[in-house]
Structure 1
Amino acid sequence: MTTSIIAKKLSTAAIGATIIVLGIGAVAQAAVLTFDDIAPIPDFTLIPNGYGGFNWDNFYYTNGSNAISRTGYDNGRVSGDYVAFNGFGNPALVSDGVFDFNSAYLTAAWNDGLSVTVEGLNSGATLYSKTVVVDTTQPTLVNFDYFGVDELRFTSFGGVEPDYLVETGGAGTQFALDNFTFNEKATSVPEPTLLPALLAIGALNAGLVLRRKQLKQS
């Protein structure tokens, strides 16, 4: 390997290490929406736009502890008493600027074996799509890892009402959603006057390493 190539690689590595140490670049801030910090309600109502920084379309929230026992509204509670759900079993949307969707807990509200498809979109184009099957008995943690999306589309279908819920007359394709975890992206831009310093540090480190290498070979 030639001296110039070694110097170039060492310089690049030194600059990269310096940038990492200084914490320059994109920084993701994780956040979890539990739906327990919205105004308390006796029954259910629409999630207000702006909650968690998102727009919510056909997503409601309810106090699961007040719901019919053994439904997914009750069993789907992960933190606190409140869960979100898709109104009337219809598709529901979450949208914002670009974000990363990490994970969420999903529970079928009425039908065991309920399928829930979650699409991640950006500017109307579908980047991700995952379908999971959930039951009424307990929440299922689903790791989505959807990066760089600006909209999520939830669609549920299928499943069969279990015998112990038949008497409630509540069969439907609603699902309960809890602990919605996402990353808010913040970008830190280095000061213009800092860049020459970083380059100088990288060049100096590369020079010192090359000098030591030459001394050993002499």
Structure 2
Amino acid sequence: MSISTIAKKLSTAVIAATAIVLGIGTVAEATVLTFDDIAPISGYDRIPNGYGGFNWDNFGYLNGSDTALSLTGYDNGSVSGDYVSFNEYGDPALVSDGIFDFNSAYLTAAWNDGLSVTVEGFKSGATLYSKTVVVDTKQPTLVNFDYFGVDELRFTSFGGVEPDYLRSKGGPGTQFTLDNFTFNEKVTSVPEPTLLPAILSIATVSAGSVLKRKQLKQS
């Protein structure tokens, strides 16, 4: 094996060891929020902050199987169990936390077919992602977002037309339902800053010692 090959392998080993020490790229298994494990209610209520580890702004939840909601997207949008979340009054709604990956969710229009839903992903106030999807009232749409390393999501809905079969239910609206919110929360374990130089120094010295021995054997 050539000296350059050995050096490359040692460099890779040092980088890998450093990544392990820093906890770079490590994530927990995906979590799915179904909104069925919040306290049962009649009517609707706001999602409490802390559910799933997130802060929820302008997100409510309700039992879509209520007979008063039959045929609407509240009923048709449930994927697991009977409960779904929705944006209150059709206004923008936010989900925020520490750093996380937003994988996917099911979206359904509550009242208007052809409803547009824009989902933006932010980190420290900067927009990293934006996607707009068009959904209907009859069935949920699985949307794979794959928003990596965000700390806030903003959901904004607009447009669409109320179908004839819902006209007796109370009028059009830009609410959407959200179900099976799937995410990965980033897990980092970073050693004390004063320890990092020592760890990297030890790794570098160790790699240099091995390379030197290889050189002596080949001389």
- Taking structure 2 as the reference length, the TM-score comes to 0.83
**Aligned in 2, Cα 1:19/1:125: closer, same or farther, shift over 3 Å?**
closer
**Aligned in 2, Cα 1:41/1:22: closer, same or farther, shift over 3 Å?**
same
Which has the higher mean CA deviation after the structures are superposed, 8-17 or 46-55? 8-17
**Aligned in 2, Cα 1:18/1:55: closer, same or farther, shift over 3 Å?**
closer
Answer yes or no: is 1:8 the counterpart of 2:13.
no
Deviation of 1:134 (Å): 0.4
Residue 61 of structure 1 aligns with which residue? 61
Q: How does 1:173-192 map to 2 (within 5 A)?
A: 173-189=174-190
Residue 145 of structure 1 aligns with which residue? 146
**Aligned in 2, Cα 1:174/1:7: closer, same or farther, shift over 3 Å?**
same
Matched residue count: 212
Residue 49 of structure 1 aligns with which residue? 49
Deviation of 1:93 (Å): 1.0
Residue 36 of structure 2 aligns with which residue? 36
Deviation of 1:194 (Å): 6.6
Instruction: Please list every run of 5 or more consecutive structure 1 residues that lacks an aligned counterpart in the other structure.
Output: none
Instruction: Please list every run of 5 or more consecutive structure 2 residues that lacks an aligned counterpart in the other structure.
Output: none
Q: Deviations over 1:95-125 (max 9, x none)?
A: 1222221111100001111000011112222
Deviation of 1:72 (Å): 0.8
Answer yes or no: is 1:80 the counterpart of 2:69.
no
Separation in structure 1 between the aligned mates of residue 85 and residue 181 of structure 2, nearest angstrom: 10
Which has the higher mean CA deviation after the structures are superposed, 99-108 or 20-29? 20-29
Residue 166 of structure 1 aligns with which residue? 167
Deviation of 1:165 (Å): 1.2
Separation in structure 2 between the aligned mates of residue 136 and residue 210 of structure 1, nearest angstrom: 71
Q: Deviations over 1:139-192 (max 9, x none)?
A: 111111112222111110111111211222331110000011111111133695
- Kept in 2, the 8 Å contact 1:31–1:182? The answer is yes
Residue 25 of structure 1 aligns with which residue? 24
Q: Deviations over 1:70-115 (max 9, x none)?
A: 1111111111111000001111111122222111110000111100
- Kept in 2, the 8 Å contact 1:26–1:188? The answer is no
Deviation of 1:127 (Å): 1.6
Q: Deviations over 1:8-51 (max 9, x none)?
A: 31211233455678995342112211111111001101111111
Separation in structure 2 between the aligned mates of residue 210 and residue 143 of structure 1, nearest angstrom: 52
- Taking structure 1 as the reference length, the TM-score comes to 0.83
**Aligned in 2, Cα 1:201/1:81: closer, same or farther, shift over 3 Å?**
farther
